[in-house]
Chain A
Protein backbone atom coordinates (compact mmCIF):
# COMPACT_ATOMS: atom_id res chain seq x y z
CA UNK A 1 0.00 0.00 0.00
CA UNK A 2 1.24 3.48 -0.88
CA UNK A 3 -0.79 5.05 1.93
CA UNK A 4 -1.51 8.75 1.26
CA UNK A 5 0.10 10.26 -1.81
CA UNK A 6 0.24 13.90 -2.83
CA UNK A 7 1.24 15.67 -6.02
CA UNK A 8 3.09 17.81 -6.75
CA UNK A 9 5.85 17.81 -4.11
CA UNK A 10 6.89 21.39 -4.87
CA UNK A 11 5.23 24.27 -6.71
CA UNK A 12 5.97 27.93 -7.32
CA UNK A 13 3.10 30.16 -8.44
CA UNK A 14 2.78 33.82 -9.26
CA UNK A 15 0.09 35.85 -7.50
CA UNK A 16 -3.25 35.31 -9.22
CA UNK A 17 -2.41 31.94 -10.77
CA UNK A 18 -4.52 28.90 -10.03
CA UNK A 19 -3.61 25.30 -9.30
CA UNK A 20 -4.97 22.06 -7.90
CA UNK A 21 -3.21 19.94 -5.29
CA UNK A 22 -3.97 16.26 -5.64
CA UNK A 23 -4.32 13.71 -2.85
CA UNK A 24 -5.15 10.02 -2.99
CA UNK A 25 -5.31 7.23 -0.41
CA UNK A 26 -5.48 3.49 -0.96
CA UNK A 27 -6.52 2.50 2.56
CA UNK A 28 -10.29 2.62 1.94
CA UNK A 29 -10.71 5.40 4.52
CA UNK A 30 -13.93 7.36 4.60
CA UNK A 31 -12.67 10.69 5.94
CA UNK A 32 -10.05 12.90 4.35
CA UNK A 33 -8.57 16.27 5.39
CA UNK A 34 -6.49 19.14 4.07
CA UNK A 35 -4.22 21.01 6.49
CA UNK A 36 -1.67 23.75 6.04
CA UNK A 37 1.51 24.10 8.06
CA UNK A 38 3.21 27.45 8.56
CA UNK A 39 6.59 28.01 10.28
CA UNK A 40 6.43 27.75 14.06
CA UNK A 41 2.82 26.64 13.98
CA UNK A 42 0.99 23.40 14.12
CA UNK A 43 -1.25 22.27 11.33
CA UNK A 44 -4.49 24.12 10.67
CA UNK A 45 -7.50 22.54 9.02
CA UNK A 46 -8.57 24.00 5.67
CA UNK A 47 -11.33 21.60 4.56
CA UNK A 48 -12.41 18.08 5.32
CA UNK A 49 -14.59 15.39 3.83
CA UNK A 50 -16.34 12.99 6.18
CA UNK A 51 -17.35 10.71 3.32
CA UNK A 52 -17.54 10.56 -0.45
CA UNK A 53 -19.77 13.36 -1.74
CA UNK A 54 -19.51 15.58 1.35
CA UNK A 55 -17.13 18.43 2.15
CA UNK A 56 -17.04 21.01 4.94
CA UNK A 57 -15.00 24.05 5.89
CA UNK A 58 -12.34 23.95 8.52
CA UNK A 59 -10.54 26.71 10.36
CA UNK A 60 -8.96 28.53 7.40
CA UNK A 61 -11.02 27.85 4.23
CA UNK A 62 -10.84 31.29 2.58
CA UNK A 63 -9.19 31.22 -0.85
CA UNK A 64 -9.58 27.44 -1.27
CA UNK A 65 -12.04 24.98 -2.74
CA UNK A 66 -12.11 21.21 -2.55
CA UNK A 67 -13.51 18.25 -4.45
CA UNK A 68 -14.04 14.75 -3.13
CA UNK A 69 -13.89 13.05 -6.50
CA UNK A 70 -14.43 9.55 -5.16
CA UNK A 71 -13.55 7.63 -2.02
CA UNK A 72 -9.84 7.63 -2.86
CA UNK A 73 -9.24 11.21 -4.02
CA UNK A 74 -9.61 14.61 -2.39
CA UNK A 75 -8.25 17.66 -4.23
CA UNK A 76 -7.58 21.20 -3.05
CA UNK A 77 -7.85 24.12 -5.47
CA UNK A 78 -6.44 27.60 -5.22
CA UNK A 79 -8.39 29.75 -7.68
CA UNK A 80 -6.27 32.91 -7.39
CA UNK A 81 -3.12 32.33 -5.39
CA UNK A 82 -1.92 34.94 -2.89
CA UNK A 83 1.45 35.20 -1.08
CA UNK A 84 -0.38 34.44 2.19
CA UNK A 85 -1.01 30.96 0.79
CA UNK A 86 2.70 30.16 0.77
CA UNK A 87 2.79 27.12 3.03
CA UNK A 88 3.22 23.37 3.22
CA UNK A 89 -0.01 21.53 2.51
CA UNK A 90 -0.76 18.12 3.98
CA UNK A 91 -3.51 15.73 3.11
CA UNK A 92 -4.61 13.10 5.63
CA UNK A 93 -7.07 10.26 5.84
CA UNK A 94 -8.43 8.57 8.88
CA UNK A 95 -9.68 5.25 10.08
CA UNK A 96 -11.24 3.75 13.10
CA UNK A 97 -12.89 4.94 16.25
CA UNK A 98 -9.56 6.33 17.51
CA UNK A 99 -9.43 8.64 14.49
CA UNK A 100 -5.85 7.71 13.64
CA UNK A 101 -4.89 10.11 10.87
CA UNK A 102 -2.33 9.18 8.25
CA UNK A 103 -0.56 11.97 6.43
CA UNK A 104 0.87 12.37 2.97
CA UNK A 105 4.39 13.74 2.40
CA UNK A 106 3.18 17.29 1.76
CA UNK A 107 3.24 19.86 -1.05
CA UNK A 108 5.51 22.87 -0.56
CA UNK A 109 3.88 25.84 -2.27
CA UNK A 110 5.47 29.23 -2.76
CA UNK A 111 3.44 32.15 -4.11
CA UNK A 112 5.48 35.11 -5.32
Chain B
Protein backbone atom coordinates (compact mmCIF):
# COMPACT_ATOMS: atom_id res chain seq x y z
CA UNK B 1 0.00 0.00 0.00
CA UNK B 2 0.89 3.64 -0.02
CA UNK B 3 2.86 5.10 2.86
CA UNK B 4 4.71 8.38 3.20
CA UNK B 5 6.98 8.99 6.18
CA UNK B 6 8.65 12.10 7.53
CA UNK B 7 10.55 13.00 10.66
CA UNK B 8 8.46 15.00 13.12
CA UNK B 9 10.63 17.96 13.98
CA UNK B 10 13.58 20.02 12.75
CA UNK B 11 15.16 23.04 14.41
CA UNK B 12 17.62 25.33 12.60
CA UNK B 13 19.12 28.77 13.12
CA UNK B 14 18.12 31.69 10.95
CA UNK B 15 20.39 31.91 7.91
CA UNK B 16 21.27 28.20 7.92
CA UNK B 17 20.00 25.69 5.38
CA UNK B 18 17.16 23.34 6.33
CA UNK B 19 16.77 19.87 4.88
CA UNK B 20 13.47 18.07 5.34
CA UNK B 21 13.37 14.42 4.36
CA UNK B 22 10.60 12.11 3.23
CA UNK B 23 10.39 8.46 2.19
CA UNK B 24 7.60 6.83 0.26
CA UNK B 25 6.83 3.23 -0.57
CA UNK B 26 4.82 3.30 -3.79
CA UNK B 27 7.18 3.02 -6.73
CA UNK B 28 4.39 3.97 -9.15
CA UNK B 29 4.15 7.49 -7.71
CA UNK B 30 4.19 9.92 -10.58
CA UNK B 31 4.42 13.27 -8.83
CA UNK B 32 5.80 14.23 -5.45
CA UNK B 33 4.94 17.46 -3.70
CA UNK B 34 5.93 19.70 -0.86
CA UNK B 35 3.29 21.69 0.96
CA UNK B 36 3.68 24.28 3.72
CA UNK B 37 1.11 24.81 6.47
CA UNK B 38 1.28 27.80 8.78
CA UNK B 39 -0.67 27.77 12.07
CA UNK B 40 -4.41 27.93 11.55
CA UNK B 41 -4.08 27.99 7.76
CA UNK B 42 -4.61 25.70 4.82
CA UNK B 43 -1.90 23.97 2.85
CA UNK B 44 0.14 25.98 0.39
CA UNK B 45 1.76 24.19 -2.52
CA UNK B 46 5.48 25.02 -2.51
CA UNK B 47 6.78 22.88 -5.33
CA UNK B 48 6.49 19.50 -6.96
CA UNK B 49 8.69 17.16 -8.96
CA UNK B 50 7.90 14.66 -11.64
CA UNK B 51 9.19 11.18 -10.93
CA UNK B 52 11.58 11.12 -13.89
CA UNK B 53 13.51 14.12 -12.53
CA UNK B 54 16.33 14.06 -9.99
CA UNK B 55 16.32 17.66 -8.92
CA UNK B 56 14.26 20.80 -9.16
CA UNK B 57 15.29 24.25 -7.99
CA UNK B 58 12.98 27.19 -7.36
CA UNK B 59 14.59 30.23 -5.75
CA UNK B 60 15.54 29.18 -2.19
CA UNK B 61 13.97 25.74 -2.55
CA UNK B 62 15.73 22.66 -3.92
CA UNK B 63 13.97 19.33 -4.25
CA UNK B 64 16.03 16.17 -4.61
CA UNK B 65 14.51 12.85 -5.61
CA UNK B 66 16.24 9.49 -5.30
CA UNK B 67 13.81 7.18 -7.00
CA UNK B 68 15.85 4.05 -6.32
CA UNK B 69 15.71 4.66 -2.56
CA UNK B 70 12.25 6.28 -2.72
CA UNK B 71 13.63 9.30 -0.90
CA UNK B 72 12.59 12.91 -1.38
CA UNK B 73 14.11 15.95 0.28
CA UNK B 74 13.39 19.66 0.45
CA UNK B 75 16.27 22.02 1.06
CA UNK B 76 15.51 25.60 2.08
CA UNK B 77 18.51 27.89 1.70
CA UNK B 78 19.03 30.88 4.00
CA UNK B 79 16.15 29.83 6.26
CA UNK B 80 14.13 32.70 7.70
CA UNK B 81 11.82 32.90 10.72
CA UNK B 82 8.92 33.16 8.26
CA UNK B 83 9.77 29.64 7.10
CA UNK B 84 8.67 28.24 10.48
CA UNK B 85 5.72 25.97 9.66
CA UNK B 86 4.78 22.36 9.12
CA UNK B 87 5.98 20.88 5.84
CA UNK B 88 4.14 17.99 4.24
CA UNK B 89 5.44 15.63 1.63
CA UNK B 90 2.79 14.07 -0.63
CA UNK B 91 2.61 11.75 -3.62
CA UNK B 92 0.09 11.03 -6.34
CA UNK B 93 -0.36 8.81 -9.35
CA UNK B 94 -1.00 10.00 -12.86
CA UNK B 95 -4.08 7.85 -13.28
CA UNK B 96 -7.00 6.91 -11.09
CA UNK B 97 -8.48 9.16 -8.46
CA UNK B 98 -5.30 11.20 -8.21
CA UNK B 99 -5.83 12.08 -4.57
CA UNK B 100 -2.71 12.95 -2.65
CA UNK B 101 -1.21 10.65 -0.01
CA UNK B 102 0.40 12.76 2.69
CA UNK B 103 3.11 12.23 5.24
CA UNK B 104 2.37 13.30 8.81
CA UNK B 105 4.37 16.51 8.44
CA UNK B 106 7.68 17.93 9.71
CA UNK B 107 7.52 20.90 12.03
CA UNK B 108 10.32 23.32 11.16
CA UNK B 109 11.33 25.71 13.91
CA UNK B 110 13.67 28.55 12.95
CA UNK B 111 15.58 30.11 15.84
CA UNK B 112 16.56 33.78 15.46
Contacts and interface: CB of A to CB of B under 8 A. Distances in A.
B4 A42 contact: yes
Contacts, number: 57
A2 to B, nearest CB: 13
Of the candidates A42, A43, A102, A103, the one having the most CB atoms from chain B within 10 angstroms of its own CB is A42
A8 to B, nearest CB: 14
B: interface residue count bin: 20 to 34
Interface string A1-30: 000100000000000000000000000000
Interface in B23-58: 31, 33, 35, 41-45, 48, 50
B110 to A, nearest CB: 21
Given A42-B4, A42-B104, A100 B99 contact: no
A80 B50 CA distance: 41
Interface stretch (B59-67, B68-76, B90-98): B90-98
Interface residues of A, number: 26
A82 interface: no
Contact of B42 (A48, A99, A100, A104): A104
Given A41-B104, A42-B105, A100 B45 contact: yes
Interface string A72-112: 00000000000000000010101001111111111000000
Interface of B: 4, 8, 31, 33, 35, 41-45, 48, 50, 88, 90, 92, 94, 97-105
16 contacts: A42-B4, A42-B88, A42-B102, A43-B100, A44-B102, A45-B100, A50-B98, A92-B43, A97-B94, A98-B31, A99-B31, A99-B100, A100-B33, A101-B33, A103-B35, A103-B43
